[in-house]
Chains A and B, each alone.
Chain A
Amino acid sequence: MTETELIENCKSGDGEAFRNLLNVYQKQLFGYLWRLGGSQYAAEELFQETTIKIWKGLKNYNGSNKFSSWIFTIAHNTAIDSFRKKRNNTNETEIDENTLVISTETPDQNIIKNENITLLNRAMKNLNEKQKEVFLLRQHSGMKFKEIAKATDQPLNTVLSHMNYAVKKLRKELEVINEH
């Protein structure tokens, strides 16, 4: 079944079609929320809220934008709303590194990957909220920057600027960490 057919079935109340539809985006969507939320538990809560909103909102989805852009916009707004309520946790998202599940072939690859994760996590702590939002949305949703600008309600140049600064900071942090 195509995505369009699945969406139509979902609008008719087909729960299994919804399961199949969201299964395609499960990893990326959950990964995005995990990175934003900072822990497996927070990500699961956000994922649940997002899923409910997607299910309820499907009747109004008219296909004017890509389905992936639409669901990631919902995820982004859900996360931002949640963080506003829990204001104290917004800037201090301690990534729970132990809950990352790595699927690699060899133990050596596993070690290297875990090291990279650690390095990246440390580097990402230096991003501010806006830079992190744009960077994560781009990496997980595959949205173009014009779509990200619309989803985050920011001008295109601002979004591009956030992304540039995010990548520069990460590059710089990774170079510094590697030197040590």
Chain B
Amino acid sequence: MNTDNKLLLEFEKEIWLYIDKDLSEERIQFWTNAISKNIELQNLLESTNSITDLYNEVSDYNLGNEIFDKIIDKAIGKKGLLFKIKNYFLHLLDQGEEHLFGKVAFASFLIICAIVVSLVSNKPNSVKSVTNVVKSEILEWDPETVDNQIKKIETLLLLAKNDKYKKYYINKIASNQWDRNTYGIENRIEKIKNDLGNNEF
């Protein structure tokens, strides 16, 4: 194999690194010199660049601003409540798998069903248990009776605070006690008389 062919094969291996300037300074200088002196190397470089240039010329892909904006809006979660909710849960779980949202949605659905069933289903009558504990007089609320009772208590309290009533009440108690005591003494005197019989003092 002659020197030129060897050089060509070697350049074929490094041509892209040369184009990228991704070789050492010395190596880039080496190839620059070699290319300037060797027509085969020049042709190879030129034909390689022509293909990539042609591709770049015809590559004019246009997504369109409207579609681009929609795509960005969806990515950042600007539109779509479900998308925001999904991204929120994915962010919380720090997972990127889409099926996790399905699991969370299913679990939420079950919880909601449980709540609805508990609300709709028959519960034990709580009124009866209340009536067992609380008297009927309270449950059968009669405002007039209750009001009268309250007034009576208020009156008694007022009287209790009144001095004359206190004296009267004390006297009444004392008088009742005096009557009981005198009655007791009379009974004893009668008994003594009976015990002594007909004997006179």
| B55-89 interface bits toward A, Cβ cutoff 8 Å, 1 = contact, 0 = none | 11111111100011101111111100000000000
Q: A52-B74, A56-B96, A160-B13 are in contact. Are A30 and B63 (CB under 8 A)?
A: yes
Question: Residue B61 contacts which of A15, A100, A164, A171 (CB distance < 8 angstroms)?
Answer: A100
Contact between chains at A26 and B68 (CB < 8 Å): yes
Contact between chains at A102 and B60 (CB < 8 Å): yes
Contact between chains at A31 and B57 (CB < 8 Å): no
Contact between chains at B72 and A167 (CB < 8 Å): no
Q: Does chain A have a CB within 8 A of B16? A: yes
Contact between chains at B57 and A113 (CB < 8 Å): yes
Contact between chains at A167 and B61 (CB < 8 Å): no
The CA of A52 and the CA of B71, in the complex, are separated in Å by 9
Q: Does chain B have a CB within 8 A of A98? A: no
Contact between chains at A103 and B60 (CB < 8 Å): yes
Q: A100-B61, A101-B60, A144-B20 are in contact. Are A120 and B75 (CB under 8 A)?
A: no
CB distance from A41 to the nearest CB of B (A): 11
The CA of A120 and the CA of B12, in the complex, are separated in Å by 22
The CA of A16 and the CA of B73, in the complex, are separated in Å by 9
**Which chain A residues border B108 with CB–CB below 8 Å?**
none
Q: Does chain A have a CB within 8 A of B111? A: no
Contact between chains at A139 and B56 (CB < 8 Å): yes
Which of B46-54, B116-124, B171-179 forms contacts with chain A? B46-54
Contact between chains at A116 and B57 (CB < 8 Å): yes
**Which chain B residues border A144 with CB–CB below 8 Å?**
20, 22
Closest to B64 in A: A101
Contact between chains at A120 and B22 (CB < 8 Å): no
- Secondary structure class of chain B's binding surface, majority of residues: helix
The CA of A104 and the CA of B150, in the complex, are separated in Å by 101
Question: Residue A18 contacts which of B22, B47, B72 (CB distance < 8 angstroms)?
Answer: B72
Contact between chains at A44 and B63 (CB < 8 Å): yes
Q: Of residues 19 to 53 in A, which have CB atoms within 8 Å of B's CB atoms?
A: 19, 22-23, 26-27, 30-31, 34-35, 43-44, 47-48, 51-52
Number of interface residues of B (CB under 8 A): 33
The CA of A15 and the CA of B17, in the complex, are separated in Å by 38
Closest to A160 in B: B16
Contact between chains at A171 and B75 (CB < 8 Å): no
Contact between chains at B59 and A139 (CB < 8 Å): yes
**Which chain B residues border A140 with CB–CB below 8 Å?**
59
The CA of A48 and the CA of B74, in the complex, are separated in Å by 8
Contact between chains at A120 and B58 (CB < 8 Å): yes
The CA of A144 and the CA of B59, in the complex, are separated in Å by 19
Question: Residue A160 contacts which of B17, B52, B60, B75 (CB distance < 8 angstroms)?
Answer: B17
The CA of A48 and the CA of B75, in the complex, are separated in Å by 7
Measured CB to CB, the residues of B under 8 A from A are: 12-13, 15-17, 20, 22, 47-48, 51-52, 54-63, 67-69, 71-78, 96
Measured CB to CB, the residues of A under 8 A from B are: 15, 18-19, 22-23, 26-27, 30-31, 34-35, 43-44, 47-48, 51-52, 54-56, 100-103, 113, 116-117, 120, 138-140, 144-146, 157, 160, 163-164, 167, 170-171, 174
Sample (30) of A-B pairs whose CB atoms are under 8 Å apart: A15-B78, A18-B72, A23-B68, A26-B63, A27-B62, A30-B61, A30-B62, A31-B59, A31-B61, A35-B59, A44-B63, A47-B63, A47-B71, A54-B75, A55-B76, A100-B61, A101-B61, A117-B58, A120-B55, A139-B52, A139-B56, A140-B59, A144-B22, A145-B22, A157-B13, A160-B16, A160-B17, A164-B15, A167-B51, A170-B55
